[in-house]
Amino acid sequence: MASHWVLALEQSQNLEVTQGSIAATATALKNGADLRLFMDAHTYEETLYFQQTYAGEGDAFAGLMTHHHSYVHRESLTDEPYFSLFKYDVSGSFSLLKWMLDNRVFDDSQAYPYGVYRWYVYDRWRVVYEHDAEGNCLTGDLDALKESIREGRSLKVGVKQLFGIQDDDPSGPQHISFFNIMQPLIKNGHAGANCDFILSSAPCWPFSWEDGLTLGVVWPWTSGEMTCNLVKPGHLPFRRTTVRRAMQWLVAEDA
């Protein structure tokens, strides 16, 4: 069976582009494409599945792993699993914050010389509805989005100016961040969604977890409102707030 994943960009260990282009990858992510990254290290090979993507100005893009659960900490097995919160981009460095179940955190961000970086995209999404921060329709059809929910279609939401929601700060470079939907619903004339965990950092590019990191449980709505339960890892409890953002609602063409 043919794969729908396409090699959009390959980088060598010294980050030279050997196939594809950074610009084409960034364009695919601005369209909501799914993203994966294959790398080979000294003793293993791995492919990362990103639950969230970031697409910014020009060629800026990143993949985020929002709830990777790990069992090894600094080469030793742990008694319990813990959350690893990752960010990868084309710089050759990655951001990694480990959040242990006893509420300790470790920043293990670093540059690591992987032998190859292969960025794969799956460009299967179509914008069915887009609105501004006040919920005014920009393109598409809200009824079509509702019908996609009723039909059990695979959906994704893109939130513009997501980074900075912890302070409701929409400044910084223009960007959109796409993340997975677990539970779409229709209520009070609008569509909304219970989403996967999301990550937000400072409203800047490039960004790292040193600039600040917030984990969120969010409910975006086609009204432009997004109900957020946010926490800085290691600093429980969650804080509830509501922000307004422009959004795109996408449906998968093949599922």
Domain count, the chain: 2
Gap between the Cα atoms of 159 and 157, Å rounded: 7
Q: Give the H/E segment covering residue 146.
A: helix 142-150
Instruction: Assess whether 133 and 104 both reside in one domain.
Output: no
pLDDT greater than 50 at residue 101: yes
Report pLDDT digits (tens) over 131-177. Answer: 999 999 999 999 999 999 999 999 999 999 999 999 999 999 999 99
Same domain, 105 and 14: yes
Residue with tokens 């390959």: 10
**pTM of the entire structure?**
0.94
Average pLDDT for the chain: 95
- Kindly state the average pLDDT of the residues 125-131: 98
For residue range 182-214, what is the model confidence (pLDDT) as tens digits? 999 999 999 999 999 999 999 999 999 999 999
Q: What per-residue confidence (pLDDT) applies to 176?
A: 98
Residue (of 204, 130, 154) closest to 174 by Cα position: 204
66 and 143 belong to one structural domain: no
Domain end (from 52, 87, 122): 122
First and final C-alpha spacing in the chain? 16
Using the 3D structure, point to which of 98, 122, 146 is the last residue of a domain: 122
Q: In terms of DSSP H, where are the helices of the chain?
A: 22-30, 142-150
Q: Is the per-residue pLDDT at 250 higher than 80?
A: yes
Say yes or no: 129 and 248 in one domain.
Answer: yes
Domain match, 134 and 170 both: yes
State the CB neighbour count (10 A cutoff) for residue 113: 10
Q: Which domain holds residue 198?
A: 125-252
Structure tokens at 47: 């492919």
